[in-house]
């Protein structure tokens, strides 16, 4: 009973999506319009940790919580890449994770989108040049959008995903005047 | 017509048996199969003819020494002739191809001859009209089955299995002799008609019932007299196992119905109650033990125990309702039991033939070494799938039709206003439902581990599809499974004709229509498997068409998703033991599994493991608590009696003198 | 007769097209109870539409069974949706199948889905299949005894008969037998449709999955069929719970007025049950797999009490 009273008292705590810095998100390849239209309203994400320190993972976990609530945009996380449309890749790709990352990409059915999260995914971050690292994510699989940051804010990750789907709420930005 | 068909079937079997002794090699096998097939088709025709036209066949040969041989075909016999003929026909066809791999290793002559003798004895068994004929053919049936079980005599466990079978079957035979002696009041050559009219005291009737229950129960394999079944059926050649599981154990049901329902004319409610209880326990325990097996044929043998339990549920319910004065419901119960008898002969025969095909192709029965056979033996896999779906009582196949009838019968128990029935029926329903659900689990395991995924051994990888004769035998039974499933409106009236007049049950006509309506007072249920089958097929095809038109058509072949691992080996698949593990844990109180885990570490470091062997065995409760004590008591008693034979000649002479003196005294006094 | 057939087809289609919405509604309610906005209740429709346009990737070790299974699961669940009384009773289709047929048709779907889980040869599939058939087998006795309880008071196992008998005798709806049977069936619904506390439909941890684990290999239109069938199965249980135990509102005659009322009452029942499931799922945590038999035994005892009470109180 106490649980439900607490739920009622707290109310909806989801925050509207903040505009954020534009150059955090880099569009590497244009996603096909057909794919964008298909996946725009319902996208399943499979998160792949290609050797990250888990800093990005903690931010990504926050996405499904009440504050950032990715589900309101039709985003949900799935366990199997066969069910997924979008691969969310973190970490510099380590040697051990190179083939698994490739296999995950092959297991995902078309059309698919890849969003690389974090500085490590883009430039290998602090692990650059290490013997255990193969390269950035786009050395292994084709990436559509990069989200920079170490780790990036959950809002930036969300905006990166929405940019890939071309579903960023543009009207809100105009109202804010930015 | 009927006598000609009987002569034809006897001639067929005899020809087959003689051909087995006279010819060798492929000619011999072909003639054996032809003889058996001809005989079984004639048997089938005879049964169908008698059931359809109501003709009775009478044959008596009192001049035959010692037997007072007499045959009579009434409607119940006719039904069981159909069961015999059907299963035997499929098994004979299959046997032609299957026995090829015995050529040169084991005696094909004994196999062919005994197979035909077994089929002949089964045909004559259901026609027997006096006690002596019945018992003699019973013994011939048991002995020929014994020789057949011993075919692969050098395999480990075969001789032991055959000995257990012989011992238990003869213990049952002793009970049967006693039962018939009491029932016939000493006149063993008097016909069954005479036995029906003999008035016996209730005490004597109870005694006959109990003796018959024990005797026929050992043949039927009801708990706790089932121990020989999972030993003997797996080691026999597969077409023989199909006949053993499909027909021979049904003779227990035939005998029980003949003695209890026909000759004794029904009895008090506790008779039905005991049969019902034994049926429910057999159904549940049979499937629980089947779940833990990874020997494919042993699993099927335990399922035979389960299905015999379901048949006895129907028969027991029928007996009980008859004693409570509900003849329509009683007829329903017997119909359900007989329908399941026929269905079980079909799908169990099919499954054993399928398992035999697997054994033929891969040389092993162990599921843990199989896998991937659906791609290498596609037709066998499809046939086995139909059999698995049928035994799991999935609509619209035949297993569902008869289980539905058993459920409806048990639910009719709501009409009996007695508290023990009111508590007992829901529990029986629950046990039946649980055994049915567990059967689904078991056959997902059996089919899935054996046929799907990757082969777990090189033998399985090298398997090839079996010869045509074996496939045709299986396909025949597949057709019957489907046909019997969608046409209960044809089968049920035929069965009610089979029961006409037995045990003073009035003939209740059941209407012919596309569905299976009942109006048994108080409980109504309707269903139509035919329309269901049509509906399911239609919906499936419609979905496929709509999908083809509207959805994306791309298909790509890739690796199995394994979290990105590199490569896939059969060792990464689920094993049969692992599949049954949740159920092993749930029923751990029953199984009390012993676990044996041995890990072989790398000599330099305990972090590297070279191999792990895991072994888990369930407690054989019945052997430990029932058979071992009884057998050791017997051995102890025998050891004590053996002291009489001390070996001393003087002692034997003393025995002779004493015996002579005693006889002289007795002869003097009785003058 | 044609009107009956068209009604049956119509109510089957209604159930089919409503099912994803019901799943979406439960998800939306759970989201609101987690203090967040969540996706709108019609989100599953978008997901299904997307899945139908995606490519299918099949393992090279899978066989024809893998391709056949989604159709068998979908067809059998749709057949059940046609047979159960959604809007009107009695219909002719009621005579094609009764409650036992419904239970075993659902079991047909489970059988093929479990086999499809074993087919690609992954350990996840095997694990999901093994757990799914365990739960299904252990739920069977409860279902059968609950059917017995319902059939006993109605004198028939056919769904139309049961609904009609309860309407004719309103007091029987609150008899202990009915209430206990309702509770037992509610627990079985949670087990069979993979809801908390038996199975978490939103989990990503393979070791905690039961239903999800079997479908990990499916993609594209096959996955769409299976997800849709799962949603339909969920709705079918709602229909059984709603229209067998509280059958008021079902159209007795095929007039427009009666059918419209039936649709409205049906919507209300579905919403009430959806709220109940959402609240329950928020309140409880998932049970460990080996505690699920205890839950199912409790439901079995409830069903047994339902039968014995209906005997004692007669």
Question: Helices B468-486 & B327-362, crossing angle to 10 degrees?
Answer: 160
* pLDDT-wise least confident of A57-66, A137-146, B613-622, B659-668: B613-622
Lowest mean pLDDT among B97-111, C16-30, C159-173, C184-198: C159-173
Whether the predicted pLDDT of A14 surpasses 90: no
Question: By the CB < 8 Å criterion, does B566 face chain A?
Answer: yes
Reference B125, options B34, B246, B252; nearest CA is B252
Q: What are phi and psi of C212, to 5 degrees?
A: -55, -40
Does position A173 have pLDDT exceeding 70, yes or no? Answer: no
In this predicted structure, the answer to whether residue A171 has a pLDDT above a threshold of 80 is no
Residues of C in contact with A83 (CB under 8 A): 216, 218-219, 223
Q: Do A71 and C38 touch (CB under 8 A)?
A: yes
- Alpha-carbon span C72 to B499, nearest angstrom: 38
Domain ranges of chain C: 2-312
Percent of chain B predicted with pLDDT > 90: 56
Whether C267 and C208 have beta carbons less than 8 Å apart is answered as no
- What confidence category does residue C273 fall into, taking pLDDT thresholds of 50, 70 and 90? very high
pLDDT in the model for residue B531: 87
Best of A103, A108, A111, A141 to disrupt the B interface (most B CBs within 10 Å) is A103
Identify the pLDDT of residue B66.
64
Measured between CB atoms, which of C38, C53, C212 is closest to A38? C53
Residues 39..98 of A with a Cβ closer than 8 Å to B: which? 80-82, 97
Contact state of A103 with B554 under an 8 Å Cβ cutoff:
no
Chain A: give the shortest CA distance to residue B563, in Å.
7
pLDDT band at A175 (very low <50, low <70, confident <90, very high): very low
For residue B403, pLDDT beyond 50: yes
Q: Taking 50 as the threshold, does the pLDDT of residue A26 lie above it?
A: yes
Tokens, residue B502 = 């037995």
Q: Where are the beta strands (DSSP E) in B280-423?
A: none
Q: Cα dist. B364→B444, B451, C119 in Å?
A: 20, 13, 21
Helices and strands (DSSP H and E) totals, chain A = 7, 8
pLDDT class of B194 with cuts at 50, 70, 90: confident
Given an 8 Å threshold on Cβ–Cβ distance, is A38 in contact with C50? yes
- For the residues of B126-176, what is the DSSP string, one character each? TTB-BHHHHHHHHHHHHHHHHHHHTTTTTSTTHHHHHHHHHHHHHHHHHHH
What separation, in Å, do the N-terminal and C-terminal C-alpha atoms of chain A show?
Answer: 45
Q: Work out the minimum CA distance from B552 to partner chain A, whole angstroms.
A: 11
Say what the pTM is.
0.93
Contact (CB<8Å) C60/B375: no
**Least Cα separation, residue A131 to chain C (angstroms):** 32
- Number of Cβ within a 10 Å radius of residue A19: 14
Most confident of B72-76, B218-222, C205-209: B218-222
- Residue B513 confidence (pLDDT): 46
Higher pLDDT, C106 or C253: C106
DSSP letter (8 states) at residue C251: B
CB atoms B422 and C141 under 8 Å:
no
pLDDT band with cut points at 50, 70 and 90 for residue A174: very low
User: What's the token pair of residue B153?
Assistant: 């005599």
Q: Give CA–CA dist C271/A21, Å, rounded.
A: 43
Answer for the pair A114, A144: CB distance below 8 angstroms, yes or no.
yes
Q: Hey, how many other C-beta atoms are within 10 angstroms of the C-beta on B537?
A: 12
Task: Please indicate whether, in this complex, the C-beta atoms of C57 and A13 are within 8 angstroms of each other.
Answer: no
Is pLDDT at B23 greater than 80 in this prediction?
yes
Rounded distance between C-alpha atoms, residue C120 and residue A16, angstroms: 43
Residue ranges per structural domain of chain B: 290-505, 589-671
Best mutation target among B521, B539, B548 (most C Cβ atoms within 10 Å) is B539
Query: Quick one: CA dihedral A92, A96, A99, A105, positive or negative?
Result: negative
pLDDT, mean over chain C: 90
Distance of CA B202 to the CA centre of its chain: 32
Measure CA of the first residue to CA of the last residue in chain B; give whole Å. Answer: 58
In Å, what is the CA distance from C174 to each residue of B3, B211, C163, C179? Answer: 64, 49, 14, 6
ipTM for the whole complex: 0.95
For residues A29-56, give the mean pLDDT. 88
Q: Using CA atoms, how far apart are residues B632 and B646, in angstroms rounded to an integer?
A: 21
User: Cα(first)–Cα(last) distance of chain C, in Å?
Assistant: 37
Write down the pLDDT at residue B213: 94
Task: Decide: helix, strand or coil at residue B339.
Answer: helix
Answer whether B181's CB lies under 8 Å from B188's CB.
yes
CA distance, residue A7 to nearest chain C CA (Å): 6
Q: How many CA atoms lie within 13 A of B266 on its CB side?
A: 23
Q: Is A79 close to C38, i.e. CB distance below 8 A?
A: no
The yes-or-no verdict on residue C112 having pLDDT over 70 is yes
Q: Over range C163-178, report the average pLDDT.
A: 83
Q: Which residue has the higher pLDDT, C4 or B249?
A: B249
| pLDDT tens by residue, B283-335 | 999 999 999 999 999 999 999 999 999 999 999 999 999 888 888 888 889 99
Q: Omega of the bond prior to C213 within 30 degrees of 0, cis?
A: no
Q: Which residues from B are below 8 Å from A106, CB to CB? A: 558-559
Q: How far apart are CA C260 and CA B632, in angstroms?
A: 76
Average pLDDT, chain B: 89
What domains are there in chain A, each with its CATH number? 19-168 (3.40.50.12280)
| C234 backbone dihedrals φ, ψ, rounded to 5° | -60, -45
Give Dmax over CA atoms of chain A in angstroms: 56
Alpha helices in chain A (DSSP H): 2-10, 33-39, 55-63, 95-107, 119-123, 154-164, 170-176
pLDDT digits (tens, 9 = 90+) for B553-598: 889 999 899 888 888 888 888 999 999 999 999 999 888 888 889 9
Identify the pLDDT of residue B505: 62
- Which positions 183-202 of C are in contact with B (Cβ < 8 Å)? none
Does B564 contact A101 at a Cβ distance shorter than 8 Å? yes
CB-CB contact of B113 with B148 (8 Å): no
pLDDT tens digits, A86-104: 999 999 999 999 999 999 9
Nearest to A80 among B559, B561, B565 (CB): B561
Spatial distance between the Cα atoms of B153 and B147, rounded to a whole number of angstroms = 10
- Which residues on neighbouring strands pair with residue C200, listed in sequence order? none
| H or E segment to which residue B615 belongs | strand B609-617
Quick one: average pLDDT of C141-163? 87
Candidates A28, A14, A29; CA nearest to A155 is A14
Nearest residue to A31 via CA among A118, A110, A149: A110
CA dist B141 and B146 (Å) reads 9
Decide if A93 contacts A137 (C-beta within 8 A).
yes
Q: Which chains share 3+ C-beta pairs under 8 angstroms with C?
A: A, B
Please tell me the distance in Å from C32's CA to the nearest CA on chain B: 33
CA angle B646, B647, B651 (to 5 degrees): 75
**pLDDT of A124 above 50:** yes
Question: Quick one: pLDDT at residue B521?
Answer: 55
Q: What burial class does residue B650 get, using C-beta atoms within 10 Å of its C-beta: 0-12 exposed, 13-18 middle, 19+ buried? A: exposed
Say how far apart CA C117 and CA B582 lie, in whole Å: 17
Place of tokens 């037995």: B502
Q: How far apart are the C-alpha atoms of B71 and C274, rounded to whole Å? A: 67
Residues of C in contact with B520 (CB under 8 A): none
Q: Are B368 and B401 in contact (CB under 8 A)?
A: no
Q: Is the pLDDT of residue C3 over 50?
A: yes
- pLDDT: is A165 or A171 the higher one? A165
Distance, CA of C310 to CA of B512 (rounded, Å): 34
């Amino acid at each position: 009973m106490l649980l439900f009273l607490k739920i009622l008292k707290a109310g909806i705590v989801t925050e509207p999506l903040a505009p954020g810095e534009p150059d955090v998100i880099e569009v590497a390849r244009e996603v096909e319009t057909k794919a964008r239209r298909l996946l725009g309203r319902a996208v399943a994400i499979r998160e792949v940790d290609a050797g990250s320190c888990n800093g990005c993972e903690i931010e990504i976990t926050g996405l499904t919580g009440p504050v950032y609530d990715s589900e309101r945009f039709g985003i949900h996380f799935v366990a199997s890449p066969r069910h997924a449309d979008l691969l969310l890749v973190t970490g510099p790709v380590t040697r051990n994770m190179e083939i698994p990352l490739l296999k995950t990409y092959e297991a995902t059915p078309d059309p698919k989108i890849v969003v690389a999260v974090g500085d490590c995914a883009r430039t290998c971050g602090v692990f650059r040049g290490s013997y255990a690292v193969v390269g950035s994510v786009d050395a292994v699989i084709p990436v559509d959008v990069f989200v920079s940051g170490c780790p990036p804010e959950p809002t930036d990750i969300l905006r990166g995903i929405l940019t890939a789907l071309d579903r960023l709420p543009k009207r809100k930005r105009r109202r804010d005047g930015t | 017509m009927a006598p000609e068909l009987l002569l034809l079937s006897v001639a067929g079997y005899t020809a087959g048996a003689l051909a087995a002794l006279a010819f060798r090699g492929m000619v011999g096998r072909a003639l054996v199969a032809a003889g058996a097939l001809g005989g079984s088709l004639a048997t089938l025709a005879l049964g169908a003819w008698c059931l359809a036209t109501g003709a009775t066949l009478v044959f008596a040969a009192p001049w035959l020494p010692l037997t007072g041989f007499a045959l009579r075909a009434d409607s119940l016999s006719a039904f069981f002739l159909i069961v015999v003929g059907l299963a035997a026909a499929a098994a004979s066809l299959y046997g032609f191809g299957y026995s090829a791999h015995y050529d040169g290793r084991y005696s094909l002559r004994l196999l062919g001859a005994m197979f035909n003798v077994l089929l002949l004895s089964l045909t004559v068994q259901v026609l027997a009209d006096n006690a002596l004929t019945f018992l003699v053919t019973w013994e011939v049936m048991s002995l020929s089955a014994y020789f057949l079980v011993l075919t692969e005599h050098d395999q480990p466990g075969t001789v032991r299995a055959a000995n257990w079978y012989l011992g238990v079957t003869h213990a049952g035979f002793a009970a049967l002799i006693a039962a018939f002696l009491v029932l016939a009041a000493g006149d063993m050559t008097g016909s069954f008609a005479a036995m029906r009219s003999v008035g016996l005291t209730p005490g004597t009737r109870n005694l006959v019932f109990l003796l018959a229950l024990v005797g026929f129960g050992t043949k039927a394999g009801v708990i706790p007299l089932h121990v020989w079944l999972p030993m003997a059926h797996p080691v026999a050649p597969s077409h023989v196992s199909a006949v053993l599981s499909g027909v021979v154990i049904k003779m227990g049901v035939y005998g029980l119905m003949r003695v209890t329902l026909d000759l004794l004319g029904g009895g008090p409610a506790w008779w039905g109650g005991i049969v019902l209880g034994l049926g429910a326990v057999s159904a549940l325990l049979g499937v629980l033990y089947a779940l833990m097996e990874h020997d494919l044929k042993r699993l099927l043998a335990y399922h035979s125990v389960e299905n015999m339990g379901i048949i006895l549920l129907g028969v027991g319910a029928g007996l009980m309702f008859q004693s409570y004065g509900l003849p329509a419901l009683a007829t329903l119960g017997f119909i359900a039991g007989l329908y399941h008898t026929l269905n079980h002969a079909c799908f169990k025969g099919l499954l054993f033939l399928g398992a035999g095909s697997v054994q033929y192709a891969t040389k092993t029965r162990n599921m843990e070494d199989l896998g991937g056979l659906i791609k290498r033996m596609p037709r066998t896999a499809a046939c086995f799938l139909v059999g698995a779906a049928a035994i799991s009582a999935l609509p619209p196949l035949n297993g569902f039709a008869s289980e539905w009838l058993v459920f409806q019968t048990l639910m009719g128990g709501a009409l009996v206003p007695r508290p023990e029935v009111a508590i007992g029926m829901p529990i029986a329903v629950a046990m039946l439902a649980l055994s049915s659900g567990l059967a689904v689990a078991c056959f997902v395991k059996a089919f899935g581990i054996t046929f799907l995924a990757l082969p777990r051994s090189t033998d399985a990888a090298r398997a090839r599809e079996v010869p045509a004769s074996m496939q045709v035998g299986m396909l025949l039974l597949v057709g019957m499974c489907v046909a019997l499933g969608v046409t209960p409106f044809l089968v049920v009236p035929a069965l009610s004709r089979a029961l006409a007049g037995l045990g003073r049950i009035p003939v209740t006509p059941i209407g012919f229509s596309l569905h299976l309506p009942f109006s048994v007072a108080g409980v109504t249920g309707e269903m139509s498997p035919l329309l269901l089958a049509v509906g399911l097929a239609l919906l499936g095809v419609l979905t496929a068409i709509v999908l083809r038109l509207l959805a994306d058509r791309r298909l790509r072949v890739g690796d199995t998703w394994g979290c990105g691992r590199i490569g896939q080996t059969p060792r990464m698949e689920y094993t049969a033991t692992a599949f049954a593990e949740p159920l092993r844990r749930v029923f751990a109180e029953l199984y009390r599994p012993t676990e044996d885990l041995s890990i072989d570490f790398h000599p330099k470091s305990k972090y590297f493991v070279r191999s792990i062997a895991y072994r888990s065995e369930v407690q054989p409760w019945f052997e430990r608590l029932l058979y071992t004590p009884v057998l050791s008591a017997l051995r102890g008693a025998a050891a004590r009696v053996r002291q009489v034979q001390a070996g001393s000649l003087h002692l034997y002479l003393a025995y002779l003198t004493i015996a002579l003196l005693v006889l002289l005294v007795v002869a003097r006094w009785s003058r | 007769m044609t009107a009956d057939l068209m009604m049956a087809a119509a109510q089957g289609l209604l159930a089919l097209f409503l099912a994803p919405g019901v799943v979406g509604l439960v998800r939306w309610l759970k989201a609101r109870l987690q203090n967040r906005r969540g996706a709108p209740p019609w989100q599953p429709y978008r997901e299904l539409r997307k899945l139908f346009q995606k490519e299918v990737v099949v393992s090279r070790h899978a066989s024809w069974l893998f391709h056949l299974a989604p159709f068998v699961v979908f067809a059998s669940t749709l057949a059940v949706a046609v047979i159960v009384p959604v809007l009107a009773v009695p219909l002719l289709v009621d005579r094609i199948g009764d409650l036992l047929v419904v239970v075993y048709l659902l079991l047909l779907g489970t059988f093929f889905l479990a086999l499809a889980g074993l087919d690609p040869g992954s350990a996840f599939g095997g694990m999901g299949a093994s757990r799914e058939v365990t739960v299904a087998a252990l739920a069977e006795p409860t279902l059968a005894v609950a059917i017995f309880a319902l059939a006993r008071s109605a004198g028939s196992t056919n769904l139309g008969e049961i609904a009609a008998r309860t309407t004719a005798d309103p007091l029987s709806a609150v008899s202990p037998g009915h209430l206990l049977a309702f509770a037992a069936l509610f627990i079985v619904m949670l087990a069979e449709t993979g809801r908390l506390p038996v199975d978490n439909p939103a989990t990503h941890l393979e070791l905690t999955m039961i239903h999800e684990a079997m479908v990990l290999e499916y993609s594209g239109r096959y996955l769409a069929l299976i997800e849709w069938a799962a949603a339909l199965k969920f709705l079918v249980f709602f229909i059984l719970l709603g229209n067998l135990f509280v059958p008021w509102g079902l159209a007795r005659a095929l007039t427009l007025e009666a059918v419209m009322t039936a649709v409205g009452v049906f919507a209300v029942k579905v919403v009430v049950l959806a709220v109940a499931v959402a609240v329950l799922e928020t309140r409880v945590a998932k049970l460990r797999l080996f505690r699920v038999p205890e839950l199912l035994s409790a439901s079995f005892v409830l069903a047994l009490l339902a039968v014995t009470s209906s005997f004692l109180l007669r």
